[in-house]
Amino acid sequence: MKYRPAKIFAFSAICGCLLSGRPHVGSSAWFVSESQARSDSRHSLARIAGQEQRPPNGVPIIRLEKSRFVLGESVFFWVGVEANSRDPIPKEYQNTCGLIITRPDGTSKTEPTGWPLDGPEDRGWLGGAGLGANETQFGRYTLVFEFAGQRTAPVNLFIEDLPIIKQIEAELVFSRSSNGLADPDGHVTLILRNNSDQTLRFPQPDAYNSMVSVSLSKSDHSYRNDFFYPAESLPGGGKAPPIFSYAWDVASQTPSVKIKLGETYRLEMPLRVALKGLPVYPGSYEITFSTTLQVLIGEKDGGWSEISPIRIPVSATAFVIK
């Protein structure tokens, strides 16, 4: 089975295998503009209805790794299409996917979902999805995923307003020159402060876990490049196996960072390492570093086990002269 982390906040591909008749796991759900995809979905279904109809050979699926989330973390779950057999899924159904989200206040929205850009086009898939950064209500959310006019049974997740997330401070900080710009000879530092009364754990940053994304774009918009910070320059060096959910049962088998009460974790990443070898011309660039930390709080049988891991998004942007 083929795994990839979710692409909601930018993640990378990891090679694996594909099982016939099963979803292509880890392909990223590609969310497109709502008006565009609704129109595409209507046209696709209308076109299918006007033709000799082939069965879709697939059903929508939605899976939660946990049902309790903390307000402020990145809500994560899986959506996709599971094939009914080894036969291909007809291409005409690929524009019929959508995620229906009903908020705690009763309002709802539909996030049309394009077929994944990676992996076989006519097979099932499973990709990471979320609620979106603008969802700030706490309470019960109801989710339904649809494909080819079929819908999953509703599933519920709950967003809770818990103070502990405010006691875990995560940030990325650029070294600055005297002019306020990022220092190309300086560092970008990932900092995690534990101000809670619990021990924190998260995967050691490397090529697959706690990956660091970099986005570089020229100020005049003539150049853009999105990539990952070189794994060989991170503590794990890309040697640890990929983890898609940093659960308690895998934490002891995975190179991890452990932060006790009052401690602070720092990881300095030289900016030159990120810029080395890029085909860029002299000028002013905007550069963004980002990552998502999967943090286990407390102990396996403790009071925070049901909400762990919490996914903490961290991002910082600066301008640099190259």
Adjacent-strand bridge partners of 150: 147
Give dist(CA 303, CA 308) in Å, integer: 10
Give dist(CA 192, CA 173) in Å, integer: 11
Query: How confident is the model at residue 80, as a pLDDT?
Result: 95
Let me know: does 276 contact 289? Beta carbons within 8 Å: no
Query: How confident is the model at residue 6, as a pLDDT?
Result: 33
* Residues lower than pLDDT 50 in the chain: 1-34, 37
Residue position matching structure tokens 């692409």: 7
Element (H, E) at 159: strand 155-160
Query: How confident is the model at residue 27, as a pLDDT?
Result: 43
In the chain, the percentage of residues whose pLDDT exceeds 70 is 82
CA-based nearest residue to 203, from 233, 169, 244: 244
Let me know: does 209 contact 203? Beta carbons within 8 Å: yes
Residue-wise pLDDT tens digits, 269-320:
999 999 888 887 888 999 999 999 999 999 998 999 999 999 999 999 999 8
pTM of the predicted model, to two decimals?
0.77
Give dist(CA 67, CA 309) in Å, integer: 11
CA-based nearest residue to 135, from 153, 158, 154, 115: 158
Kindly list the structural domains of the chain, giving each domain's residue range(s) and its CATH number in brackets, ordered by start: 24-160 (2.60.40.1930), 163-321 (2.60.40)
Tell me the helix, strand and coil percentages in the chain, rounded to 5.
10, 40, 50
Phi, psi of 136, rounded to the nearest 5 degrees: -115, 10
b/e sequence 26-37, b meaning 16+ C-beta within 10 Å: bbbbbbeeeeeb
* Tally of CB atoms within 10 A around 248: 15
Let me know: does 162 contact 113? Beta carbons within 8 Å: no
Give dist(CA 280, CA 237) in Å, integer: 26
Query: How confident is the model at residue 18, as a pLDDT?
Result: 32
Indicate if the alpha-carbon torsion angle 41, 42, 46, 49 is positive or negative.
positive
